[in-house]
């Protein structure tokens, strides 16, 4: 299960980075400039609130490859069953967030 500390956190429909501030405020932080694409070799995309949006945000920020880590005891078959659908949804969302969200 996703960490309960993050329950209630807003889901930002954009490709930007949001830093948590006091009193429920959020501030946008500039992404570092990278000269080449990168890989996330260890993440649990299926535990995120909106995996398709997370894939889109990753793609929009230059993440070219990722490895989703699945626990055979507690994650079930959902990550395997749903990843193709999340990727397809993400491919539409990436166009929207790359244009600045909606």
Partner 1 sequence: MPRVRFAVGCHPHNAKHYDDALEKLLLDRLADARVSAVGEIGLDYHYDFSPREAQREAFRRQVRVAKEAGLPVVLHIREAHDDAFSILQEEGFPQAGTLLHCFNLDWAELERWVEAGCYVAFGGPVTFKHADEVRDAASHVPEELLLTETDAPYMTPEPLRGATCGPEHVVFTADKLCEVRGLAFGEERETFLRKLLANAYGLLDREPTPWQRERAEGLGIKELSPTERARAAVAQWRASE
Query: x/- contact string, 6-25, with partner 1 (CB under 8 A)?
Result: x--x-----x-xxxx-----
Can residue 58 be called a binding residue for partner 1 (CB under 8 A)? yes
Q: Which of residues 27-46 bind partner 1 (CB under 8 A)?
A: 29, 31-45
What would the two tokens of residue 97 be? Answer: 């967030």
Least distance in Å: CB of 102 to partner 1? 18
Can residue 82 be called a binding residue for partner 1 (CB under 8 A)? yes
- State the Rg of the chain over Cα: 14
Q: How many other CB atoms are found less than 10 A from the CB of residue 8?
A: 7
55 in Cβ contact with 87 (< 8 Å): yes
């Amino acid at each position: 299960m996703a960490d309960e500390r993050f329950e209630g956190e807003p889901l930002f429909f954009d490709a930007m980075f949001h830093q948590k501030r006091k009193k429920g405020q959020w501030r946008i932080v500039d992404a570092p400039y990278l000269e080449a694409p990168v890989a996330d070799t260890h993440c649990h995309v299926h535990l995120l609130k909106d995996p398709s949006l997370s894939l889109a945000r990753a793609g929009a920020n230059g993440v070219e490859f990722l490895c989703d880590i699945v626990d055979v005891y507690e994650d079930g078959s959902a990550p395997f069953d749903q990843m193709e659908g999340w990727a397809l949804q993400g491919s539409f969302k990436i166009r929207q967030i790359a244009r600045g969200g909606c």
